[in-house]
């Protein structure tokens, strides 16, 4: 055998070995229980989404996908745990909007989300809704802007904490309209909602799930949806963007893995998660939490994360925000 034929044979064999190893890694995955780390408390949108996806993947892949809540530091504790995990697909993160915000809000993070995490798949986007107490004089977004301009700093805007999705929705609103409101952070949306109901604060950009009953009963007044399009749960409510051109602020949830996770494992998880979106039962469950499905490739989800990171960096800097 001459040298050229030998090299061609060796090269082909190497390629076959690599392909066999990739196929073996994919067929063997998962070979033990998988943990999905959620950075926020049980019962919220992050936790519910993680459990829905975990149950689906457990049924499809034959191993338990267990949701573990690691709260604190706006999701940074959970994210750091996954960043430092073995890149073998057995520890995943339920990624959220705060991951994009925190990249700028926290100047001394021990990780870089865009560099240290591998996007796997988007799951859903969830709109927020601008809510006021019924005694508040504004009936729509235009009247809210007019009142805020006439009364700078006098509107107390509640949020679920500095850097939370409700907070960032409000900061974006102030940035784009030029109004000034006083931010009142709480430890979670439920506390903020309680004080809005008692008229201790005047405005809250709240996650849409769970708000419909307050609106229908007249306990709160909805002024507009923060999403770019209408949501089924509040389909007659106009968007904030119909008054403030270009305004959009939605919560989003997806799955990410440690960087260097084998691409065949990422691809398999992506394929199985996207399969969930074609299942009527899963569609119904996601719709129940006002979620608009984000189907697509790992690259598609990676672009969403990158775009959101850039978008919220501008808001954080312009508003001069710092983590507390």
Angle between helices 280-288 and 45-61 (to 10 degrees): 170
Helices (H) and strands (E) in the chain, counts: 12, 10
CATH architecture, range 10-125+251-319: 3-Layer(aba) Sandwich (3.40)
CATH fold, domain 127-242, is D-Maltodextrin-Binding Protein; domain 2 (3.40.190)
pLDDT the model gives residue 8: 54
CA atoms within 13 A on the CB side of 106: 21
pLDDT the model gives residue 231: 59
Angle between helices 76-83 and 97-105 (to 10 degrees): 90
Torsional sign, CA 169, 173, 176, 178 = negative
pLDDT the model gives residue 236: 82
Reported as type and span, the H/E element at residue 139 is: none
What is the three-class DSSP state of 135? coil
pLDDT the model gives residue 230: 62
Q: What span, in angstroms and rounded, lies between the C-alpha atoms of 173 and 181? A: 10
Which runs of consecutive H residues, i.e. helices, occur in the chain? Answer: 3-28, 45-61, 76-83, 97-105, 113-116, 141-150, 165-177, 189-197, 212-217, 263-276, 280-288, 298-319
pLDDT the model gives residue 209: 83
* Domains 10-125+251-319 and 127-242 equal at CATH topology level: yes
CB-neighbour burial class of residue 17 (10 A; exposed 0-12, middle 13-18, buried 19+): exposed
pLDDT the model gives residue 239: 94
pLDDT the model gives residue 27: 59
Show the tokens assigned to 200. 């201790």
What is the three-class DSSP state of 206? strand
Domain spans of the chain, in order of start: 10-125+251-319, 127-242
Kindly give the confidence (pLDDT) of every residue in the chain, 324 residues in length, as a single tens digit, with 9 standing for 90 and above.
555 554 454 454 444 444 444 444 445 899 999 999 999 989 889 999 999 999 999 999 999 999 999 999 999 999 999 999 999 999 999 999 999 999 999 999 999 999 999 999 999 999 999 999 999 999 999 999 999 999 999 999 999 999 999 999 999 999 999 999 999 999 888 899 999 999 999 999 998 888 889 999 999 999 999 998 765 667 789 999 999 999 999 999 999 999 999 999 999 999 999 999 999 999 999 988 888 999 999 999 999 999 999 999 999 999 999 887
Q: What span, in angstroms and rounded, lies between the C-alpha atoms of 60 and 164? A: 33
């Amino acid at each position: 055998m001459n040298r050229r034929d030998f090299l061609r044979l060796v090269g082909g064999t190497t390629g076959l070995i690599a392909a066999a190893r990739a196929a073996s890694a994919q067929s063997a995955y998962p070979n033990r229980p998988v943990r999905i780390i959620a950075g926020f408390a049980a019962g919220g949108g992050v936790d519910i989404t993680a459990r829905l996806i975990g149950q689906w993947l457990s049924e499809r892949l034959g191993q338990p996908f267990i949701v573990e809540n690691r709260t604190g530091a706006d999701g940074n504790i959970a994210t750091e745990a996954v960043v430092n995990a073995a890149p073998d697909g057995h520890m995943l993160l339920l990624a959220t909007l705060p991951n994009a915000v925190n990249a700028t809000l926290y100047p001394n993070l021990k990780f870089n989300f865009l560099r240290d995490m591998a996007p796997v798949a988007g799951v859903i986007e969830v709109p927020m809704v601008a809510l006021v107490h019924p005694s508040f004089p504004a009936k729509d977004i235009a009247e809210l802007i007019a009142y805020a301009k006439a009364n700078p700093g006098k509107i107390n805007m509640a949020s679920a904490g500095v850097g939370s999705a409700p907070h960032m929705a409000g900061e974006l609103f102030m940035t784009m309209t030029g109004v000034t409101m006083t931010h009142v952070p709480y430890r979670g949306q439920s506390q903020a909602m309680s004080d809005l109901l008692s008229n201790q604060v005047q405005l809250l950009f709240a996650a849409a799930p769970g708000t419909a009953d307050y609106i229908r009963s007249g306990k709160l007044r909805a002024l507009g949806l923060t999403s770019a399009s209408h949501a089924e749960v509040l389909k007659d409510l106009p968007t904030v963007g119909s008054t403030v051109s270009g305004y959009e602020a939605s919560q989003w949830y997806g799955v990410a893995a440690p960087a260097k996770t084998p691409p065949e494992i990422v691809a398999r998880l992506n394929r199985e998660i996207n399969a969930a979106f074609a299942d009527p039962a899963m569609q119904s469950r996601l719709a129940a939490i006002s979620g608009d499905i984000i189907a697509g490739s790992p690259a598609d989800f990676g672009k969403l994360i990158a775009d959101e990171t850039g978008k919220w960096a501008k808001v954080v800097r312009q508003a001069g925000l710092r983590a507390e």
